Amino acid sequence: MKKIELLAPAGDLEKCKTAILYGADAVYLGGKKFSLRSRASNFDIEDIKEACDFARSHNANIHVTVNIIPHESDFEGIKEYLKTLEEIGVTAIIVASPAIGQIARKVASKLEIHLSTQLSITNYKSVEYFDDIKPDRVVLARECTMDEIRYITKNINTNTETFIHGGMCVNYSGRCTISNALTLRDANRGGCAQSCRWKYHLYDGENKISDDEILFSMSSKDLMAIDKVYDMIEANVSSLKIEGRMKSNYYIATVVKTYRKLIDEIYETKKRPDKDRIEYYEREIAKAENRLTSSGFYDGLPDESGHLYGVNGAGVTHDFIGVILDQDDDYAYVQTRNLYRLNDELEVFGPDIDNETFVVTTIIDENDENVELVNRPMSVMKINIPFKVSKGDMIRRFHDDN
């Protein structure tokens, strides 16, 4: 049986490489044109090519979002762009516009076409509608229930991809113009200003009804579907997608590694993870920065518990301390991200290392002097780590205030 794909986001090359090294089977990214989140993208064609070369050398694939809702003026250069993506080794494009799908079929026929979640596909008949494009994959709407995912996957003759983790839109994805209205930034042409997550005063006529301390937000909780991975595999879904092209390198590493381990465990044990294992994986996810989470629509229409109500982040248990650059016989060389000091207990994780802990007993700064505390981001320190670590491994520490 073909193993389900783990598909991770990347906002730049470093994140792309991290995602692949930490266990993603494929990475999706956006170019500077024709993509949502285009404002955040650092991928020009050279970068996309480098991402493809890196992915190929690690047995992974690159998908490129070409998912704007194009107006007439947006098509300029699209044919050349699609041909170039095909030539440099991109596996798939993710499209929200049937027009872009049709153009791709004609000018870049080797590119797989994945229908974006922006199309809000929540039933199998909608997939049939796109028969002339012959999509290789359909990214189902985040608003589907688990039963609908099972039913659609069974009744279509192409593959399905579902979201497993990350931010949710308060509107159906792609059918939102809050950002357009409040900031003149078109969410469907790469400009979403996340206006749903702002904090608002609420008025009923002249009367303010919001609490000044806890302002109203339209923001949904993030999706976390750790407990649905087994169901997705059983339902024959082809790919599990993590959302978050704007998220940090540390977040990508933490979330990708967690889902990698979970998927591998399910294939190894061939059974549904029990409550203890689910809680273990949820604790792993909580080590990275996050909003509060829920299971989204997978168990049915979310009630008020799926809403954030003015709270932004919570429940994160660990700080990201630094990245390993190298290790010799005596010390590891660590690039600093957050404050740490002597006697801290730190945890190392990486592609080949799983939550090994140690106590900091020596810190030597760039002037070869022993120091007690490190508080300069990006400074490189020599510290004692009593086990083997590798370049790219990450260090974190349990919050003092937990």
- Chain residues in the site for ligand SF4 (CB under 6 A): 169-171, 176, 178-179, 187, 192, 194-196
Of the chain, the end-to-end C-alpha distance in Å amounts to: 43
Query: Least CB distance from residue 244 to ligand SF4, whole Å?
Result: 12
Sole residue written with tokens 């024959």: 236
CA 105: distance to chain centroid? 28
**Complex with ligand SF4: residue 17 or 221, whichever CB lies closer:** 221
How far is it, in rounded angstroms, from Cα 22 to Cα 24?
Answer: 6
Rounded to a whole number of angstroms, the minimum distance from the CB of residue 70 to ligand SF4 is 17
Please state the closest distance from residue 176 (CB atom) to ligand SF4, in A.
Answer: 3
- 126 CB burial (10 A radius; 0-12, 13-18, 19+): middle
Q: Which is nearer to ligand SF4, 61 or 188 (CB)?
A: 188
The nearest distance, CB 185 to ligand SF4, in angstroms, is 9
Between residues 188 and 336, which has the closer beta carbon with respect to ligand SF4?
188
The amino acid at residue 44 is: D
CA distance 299 to 320: 32
Q: Angle 46-49-55 (CA atoms, 0-180°, nearest 5)? A: 145
Instruction: Decide whether 159 or 290 has the Cβ nearer to ligand SF4.
Output: 290
Nearer CB in complex with ligand SF4: 18/188: 188
Residue closer to ligand SF4 by CB (options 162, 219) is 219
Closer to ligand SF4 by CB, 158 or 183: give it: 183
Q: Which two tokens stand for residue 101?
A: 């799908």
What are the distances in angstroms from CA 326 to CA 15, 125, 126, 306, 323? 19, 54, 52, 43, 9
- For residues 32-61, b (16+ Cβ closer than 10 Å) or e, as one string? ebbbbbbeebbbeeebbbbbbebbeeeebb
- Angle, alpha carbons 45-53-350 (nearest 5°): 110
Phi, psi of 125 (to 5 degrees): -60, -35
Burial class (CB in 10 A: 0-12, 13-18, 19+), 340: buried
Q: Is the CB of 144 or the CB of 332 nearer to ligand SF4? A: 144
- Cβ neighbours for 341, distance < 8 A, ≥ 6 positions apart: 360, 363, 372, 373, 374
